[in-house]
Chains A and B, each alone.
Chain A
């Protein structure tokens, strides 16, 4: 399980877009670097991140080695009902992470 942070408003207006900010702790290893022993460090990046809002997918991202370490993403979503924001991601090693934030409708 990987570490991450999510920032979203606790209450949102129905039908009005609001911003969700996600920060994932990950080295985003490019596969081009070499370690202290001269061996190349295998590529390991968060390749897929999805965000669902009350069970409905609102955003997904396919990331590559061109995304900075500790990937930060901010995007918008519209809520039609109260629920939970769920952000899930996985990296090349198959490790996964998950963040949730509950929100209510104003």
Chain B
């Protein structure tokens, strides 16, 4: 074997190994997580406005604004908002707890997204009612969740 062929070997072997280390996270089934958060109930679609860019250039910081239709009165208000990203290694991104004292069911934050995926927003309303919305995001450069710095 020629020296240059020998030297090329580890370089070739390293490429697939690196690709497997979570750079392309498969989408997970978030159904059980949604069911757990929704207390076993099937959440209704709609009633939530999610502002999320269609194309996120950098998955490390994606701005997100969530608005839930609710009068925010003492009898009828939003109790919690969950953000679920199916391709993140930890799908539950954040949980926000609101009350009638919030006045308006609107929350903004910046999230990390490990690749192009569906982002779901689950809202818990008073009287054990649940609503869900989902939004597709194309992430050009995923958040660094593997070994690279």
Contact = CB atoms under 8 A, between A and B. Distances in A.
Query: Interface extent on A, as a size class?
Result: 20 to 34
A72 B109 CA distance: 5
B101 A78 contact: yes
Interface in B95-149: 95-99, 101-113, 144-147, 149
A54 B113 CA distance: 36
Nearest to A53: B101
Contacts of B102: 17, 58-59, 75-78
B125 to A, nearest CB: 16
Interface residues on B, range: 35 or more
Interface in A59-74: 59-69, 71-74
A75 B68 CA distance: 12
Nearest to B95: A62
Nearest to A66: B93
B94 interface: yes
B50 interface: no
B107 A73 contact: yes
Interface of B: 22, 60-62, 72, 83, 85, 88-99, 101-113, 144-147, 149
4 closest A-B pairs by beta carbon, nearest first, are A17-B103, A66-B93, A78-B103, A76-B104
